[in-house]
């Protein structure tokens, strides 16, 4: 499968796997940010728990290359934020309300990181495209 | 002697193949920039002799068929050595990919490839001139 003519196509396919993984990561981050204040439905219950995306490197047999895949999306086991709000309908018996363990600063830095990686993969795709164009230019000469 | 056997064209073709292979390796590095325990890789530059053939440890080790009933060898390993010493900054997750460094490599790879293709077309043009069709 891995013949010379498809090498550029392989480069682009690998970079595309990176784009897909970063887009998936962005989805998880936006879910976390959107739910930053989602409390439980019932009094004293657990609120939204932050999700953490994981990446893993896998050998794609058709491409014969190490591509990246978005692995399991795991829950963050850190403690919830607790606020004393006795008037809140979902407060527990002692008047405390649990808020999600989402820290917007952490999510923002993660988002910037995802954006940076996405742009890097895009750069690889455009560089590869330019290289293909140069190859085709030999025919024109 | 066919056109492809000319030393200059053969050397340029090897160089273009090397850049193509390197682009794939760099693409792997960039796409795995967030994978835990991933180490970036790079290719060692090929050394060419005067006839444009690859010298040193670069010679491809192709599989051979010892019996006609064997399957045809496919997916032979690349003829280029991999430089495994690349990357010195490792993040706590064990990932050693430095995006800026990879971008620099990709840019220089692309420019060198452009130079090689330009030289290739110039050489072809030279041949055309030589046979009076330039």
Q: Given the cut 0.90, state whether the ipTM is greater than it.
A: no
Q: State pLDDT tens for residues B83-101.
A: 655 556 788 888 888 888 9
* pTM (two decimals): 0.79
Provide the 3-class DSSP secondary structure of residue B85: coil
Name the residue with higher pLDDT: B76 or A136: A136
CA angle B27, B23, A61 (to 5 degrees): 60
Cα distances (angstroms) measured from residue B109 to each of A31, A129, B13, B55, B94: 38, 13, 15, 21, 26
Domain count, chain A: 1
Name which of A9, A127, A7, A140 is nearest B118 in CA terms.
A140
Separation of alpha carbons B75 and B58, rounded Å: 17
Each domain of chain B, given as residue ranges in start order, spans 1-55+95-133
Contact A70/B at CB under 8 A: no
- Spell out the per-residue pLDDT of chain A, length 141, in tens: 444 447 899 999 999 999 999 999 999 999 999 999 999 888 888 999 999 999 999 998 888 888 999 999 999 999 999 999 999 888 888 999 999 999 999 999 999 999 999 999 999 999 999 999 999 998 887
Contact B124/A at CB under 8 A: yes
What rounded mean pLDDT belongs to chain B?
80
Residue B94 CA to its chain's centroid (Å) = 27
* Cβ-contact A17, B31 below 8 angstroms: yes
Range of the domain at A123: 1-140
Residue A1 pLDDT: 41
Provide the 3-class DSSP secondary structure of residue A137: helix
Q: Is the pLDDT of residue B18 over 80?
A: yes
Contact B111/A at CB under 8 A: no
* Cβ-contact B93, B36 below 8 angstroms: yes
Name which of B51, B101, B48, B109 is nearest B79 in CA terms.
B48
As a whole-number percent, the residues of chain B with pLDDT over 90 amount to 32
Name which of A55, A86, A98 is nearest B30 in CA terms.
A55
Residues B2-30 as b/e (b if ≥16 CB within 10 A, e otherwise) read eeeebeebbbbebbbbbbbbbbbbbbbbb
Separation of alpha carbons B49 and A70, rounded Å: 45
Please, which residues bridge with residue A53 across strands?
Answer: A73
Residue B79 pLDDT: 60
Residue B69 pLDDT: 73
Q: Which segment of A45-59, B39-53, B61-75 scores lowest on mean pLDDT?
A: B61-75
Cα distances (angstroms) measured from residue B14 to each of A141, B27, B48: 20, 20, 9
Contact B19/A at CB under 8 A: yes
Name the residue with higher pLDDT: A128 or B7: A128
Separation of alpha carbons A106 and A78, rounded Å: 13
The whole-angstrom distance between B99's CA and the closest CA on chain A is: 7
Among A2, A19, A53, A120, the residue to mutate for chain B (most B Cβ within 10 A): A120
């Amino acid at each position: 499968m891995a013949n010379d003519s498809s090498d550029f196509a392989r480069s682009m396919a690998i970079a595309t796997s990176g784009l897909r993984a970063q887009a998936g990561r962005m989805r998880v981050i936006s879910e976390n940010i959107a739910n930053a204040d989602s409390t439980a439905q019932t009094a004293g219950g657990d609120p939204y728990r932050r999700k953490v995306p994981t990446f893993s490197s896998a050998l794609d047999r058709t491409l014969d290359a190490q591509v990246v895949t978005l692995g399991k999306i795991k829950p963050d086991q850190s403690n919830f934020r607790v606020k004393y709000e006795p008037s809140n309908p979902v407060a527990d018996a002692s008047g405390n309300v649990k808020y999600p363990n989402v820290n917007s600063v952490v999510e923002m830095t993660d988002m910037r990181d995802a954006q940076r990686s996405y742009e890097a993969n895009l750069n690889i795709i455009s560089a590869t495209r330019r290289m293909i164009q140069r190859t085709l230019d030999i025919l024109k000469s | 002697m066919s056109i492809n056997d000319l030393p200059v064209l053969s050397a340029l073709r090897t160089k273009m193949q090397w850049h193509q292979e390197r682009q794939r390796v760099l693409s792997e590095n960039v796409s795995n920039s967030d994978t835990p325990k991933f180490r970036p890789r790079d290719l060692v530059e090929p050394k060419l002799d005067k006839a444009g053939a690859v010298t040193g440890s670069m010679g491809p080790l192709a599989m051979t068929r010892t019996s006609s009933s064997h399957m045809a060898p496919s997916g032979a390993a690349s003829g280029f050595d991999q430089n495994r010493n690349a990357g010195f900054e490792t993040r706590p997750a064990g990932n050693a990919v430095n995006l800026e460094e990879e971008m620099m490599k990709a840019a220089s790879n692309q420019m060198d490839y452009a130079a090689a293709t330009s030289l290739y077309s110039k050489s072809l043009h030279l041949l055309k001139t030589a046979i009076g069709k330039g």
